Amino acid sequence: MPTPHSCYGTLRQRLCATLCALALCLASTLAFGAEADSLASARYAEPVDRYGHFALGRPHEYARMEAETTGGARLVLSLPPEEVFEDVAPRLVRLSPASPALLLAIVSNRATGSALALLGLEHGRLAILARSAPIGTARRWLNPVGVADLDGDGVAEIAAVLTPHIGGTLKVYRREGHELKELAALPGFSNHVYGTSEQRLSAIVTTGGTARLLVPDTSRTVLRVLEFQAGRLRETGRCRLAAPVVGPVLPAGEAEVVVTTQNGEQRLAPAHCPPPDGKK
């Protein structure tokens, strides 16, 4: 016959086993919930003409964004009447390996022009979490270059060319709370042809552990190669092109890219582009 002490020990073991099982179940549920709340895809919807700039051609000014989570939830964000998404498609990005998925978009305002916007989940809803300062003038647009850890500190920066049609300026941003803070700027770039929907005329590539921004000059006949280090943009090379860039700049193998020009594709190695005149 079991003693009271042995019964107590058996009961305690069963209670511990039950609590452990509940803890594992709760952990699994929380993990599933976190995954279900992760953004998986997004698209623009409801084309409008209330802004009327159409830098990307019609119909690429939209009143709302629709997103879907990995758990199948469908979310919608509608902009106020004075704003539109002046963009072709939202970009799914992460600012660090452990951070949640976000959406990078271009929002244009009737009074202040375009700004970068990061959207994400806030209390289960799709919301704008951070913005860059707007250009400041209506019908002035910007085109993203990309999102990458440019300086190797583990946190991604966002690069974009402001006013690529009228003497563009390359800028680098980092998220700080609700703000996309400008870190560096350099003039003399263009990564878009007005009225066309192709936005990939620039790129960020990483070779040998070094991230490089590849952005055409204002004539789009020279591909400028830049690095972001110690808080500033430094130009390391310039590759002359056979004709103006009109299409994507895409990685091709370990150290090369293919640039789409008016005369067809041109292959080059950014690390071997000659240094700018007068610089080492």
**What does the pLDDT look like over 161-202, one tens digit per residue?**
999 999 999 999 999 999 999 999 999 999 999 999 999 999
pLDDT tens-place string over residues 7-37: 445 545 554 454 444 444 444 334 334 444 8
pLDDT recorded at residue 17? 52
Whether 31 is covered by a domain: the verdict is no
Measured CA distances, 7 to 15, 16, 20, 31, 146 (Å): 12, 14, 20, 36, 65
Same domain flag for 279 and 157: yes
Chosen domain end from 82, 115, 140 = 140
Distance CA 84, CA 212 (A): 31
Same domain flag for 225 and 198: yes
The answer to whether 106 and 114 are in contact (CB under 8 A) is yes
CATH code of the domain containing 218: 2.40.128.630
134 — pLDDT class (breaks 50, 70, 90): very high
Distance CA 159, CA 36 (A): 30
Average pLDDT for 136-158: 98
- Range in 11-15, 138-142, 230-234 with the lowest mean pLDDT: 11-15
Whether 221 is covered by a domain: the verdict is yes
Same domain flag for 62 and 150: no
Whether 13 is covered by a domain: the verdict is no
Average pLDDT for 38-62: 98
Chosen domain end from 140, 174, 194 = 140
Same domain flag for 266 and 167: yes
Same domain flag for 177 and 280: yes
Mean model confidence pLDDT for the chain: 90
Same domain flag for 113 and 206: no
pLDDT recorded at residue 253? 87
Distance CA 148, CA 205 (A): 9
Whether 259 is covered by a domain: the verdict is yes
Whether 184 is covered by a domain: the verdict is yes
pLDDT recorded at residue 14? 57
Q: Alpha-carbon dihedral of residues 57, 266, 270, 272, nearest 10 degrees?
A: -160
One-letter amino acid of 139: R
Whether 17 is covered by a domain: the verdict is no
Query: What is the span of the domain harbouring residue 45?
Result: 38-140
Chosen domain end from 114, 140, 166 = 140
Count how many domains the chain has. 2
Write down the residue that tokens 């806030």 correspond to.
122
Q: What percent of the chain has pLDDT over 90?
A: 83
pLDDT recorded at residue 12? 55
Same domain flag for 211 and 136: no
Distance CA 142, CA 92 (A): 18
Residue 258 has pLDDT above 80, yes or no: yes
Residue 76 has pLDDT above 80, yes or no: yes
pLDDT recorded at residue 146? 98
Query: Which DSSP helix (H) or strand (E) runs through 260?
Result: strand 257-261
Whether 6 is covered by a domain: the verdict is no
Same domain flag for 49 and 182: no
Same domain flag for 224 and 270: yes
Same domain flag for 148 and 102: no
Same domain flag for 147 and 102: no
The pTM assigned to this predicted structure is 0.86
